[in-house]
């Protein structure tokens, strides 16, 4: 697996396919492979898919102490410059959407098109902070209970009920990736309000209508803060790649693959 270096950290990344780069940035409780495994090969016909493990997930390293969003942004940019010769399309889900947005704001020359799924502008919202504080406390005291808590919010009620008792139990017993607690804690400190207006890449924001971890209102706020961005919704819980992979792939492909010269409409 190729590895990029950034600010004294190593960032391994999966690389598959050929063509223009498509960087996939995972969320808090996953890594590149588990976050996007079901859909990676559905882009490789036209894109070189890059799926990094960052901030302690997978084989990546993370400094001691609280995570800094600028570090994650630097890590994402390092993967792009290590793997590609020009700008790439960037897709981020959940915390990955936060990192993707910050990367596009800080490094506009590296991002051709941007898709932000289930992200949020700021952690100031009392409900958001309550959810993430509870999740962080459980992660420190009882990781299995933390996973159960996160699962109950990340999956829509109908999808979760349809998994059945045995599969739910299997999900709960999965070990969280390294650095999960630090990424949850970072989720309590996000503030993109000054960064989002700086995004110049054509941007699609996607809200998830049954998302109880990061409700769609947060995605709508991202859309409103990014000039000339587009907005759409998918009827899914937070774990959209698991619940609605076909819809996820269709929206991403429609936006980043079907318009051959997006730079012509750059703001």
Active centre residues (catalytic): 94, 211, 238
Contact between 79 and 61 under an 8 Å Cβ cutoff? The reply is: no
* Beta strand ranges found along the chain (DSSP E): 3-6, 9-17, 20-25, 47-52, 88-93, 111-117, 203-208, 230-234
Q: How far apart are CA 17 and CA 2, in angstroms?
A: 14
For the chain, give the number of residues: 267
Of 85, 87, 95, 52, the C-alpha closest to 201 is 87
Q: How far apart are CA 133 and CA 118, in angstroms?
A: 19
- Measured between alpha carbons, how far is residue 120 from residues 94, 128, 131, 180 in Å? 8, 10, 14, 18
Q: How far apart are CA 97 and CA 190, in angstroms?
A: 11
Q: How far apart are CA 83 and CA 66, in angstroms?
A: 28
Q: How far apart are CA 160 and CA 154, in angstroms?
A: 9
Q: What are phi and psi of 92, to 5 degrees?
A: -125, 140
């Amino acid at each position: 697996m190729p590895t990029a270096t950034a600010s004294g950290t190593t960032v391994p990344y999966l690389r598959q396919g050929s063509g223009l780069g498509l960087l996939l940035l995972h969320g808090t409780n996953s890594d590149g492979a588990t976050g996007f495994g079901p859909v990676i090969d559905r882009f490789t016909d036209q894109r070189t898919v890059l799926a990094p493990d960052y901030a302690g997930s997978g084989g990546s390293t993370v400094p001691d102490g609280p995570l800094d969003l600028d570090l994650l942004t630097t890590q994402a940019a390092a993967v792009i410059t290590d793997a590609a010769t020009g700008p790439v399309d960037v897709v981020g889900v959940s915390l990955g959407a936060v990192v993707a947005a910050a990367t596009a704001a800080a490094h506009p020359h590296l991002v051709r098109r941007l898709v932000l799924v289930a992200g949020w502008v700021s952690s100031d919202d009392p409900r958001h902070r309550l959810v993430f504080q509870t999740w962080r406390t459980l992660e420190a005291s009882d990781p299995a209970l933390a996973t159960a808590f996160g699962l109950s919010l990340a999956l829509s009620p109908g999808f979760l009920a349809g998994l059945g008792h045995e599969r739910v139990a299997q999900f709960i017993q999965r070990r969280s990736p390294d650095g999960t607690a630090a990424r949850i804690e970072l989720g309590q400190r996000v503030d993109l309000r000054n960064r989002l207006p700086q995004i110049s890449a054509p941007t699609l924001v996607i809200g998830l209508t049954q998302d109880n971890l990061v409700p769609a209102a947060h995605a709508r706020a991202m859309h409103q803060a990014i000039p000339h961005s587009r907005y759409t919704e998918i009827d899914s819980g937070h774990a959209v790649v698991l619940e609605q992979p076909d819809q996820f792939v269709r929206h991403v492909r429609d936006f980043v693959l079907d318009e051959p010269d997006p730079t012509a409409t750059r703001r």
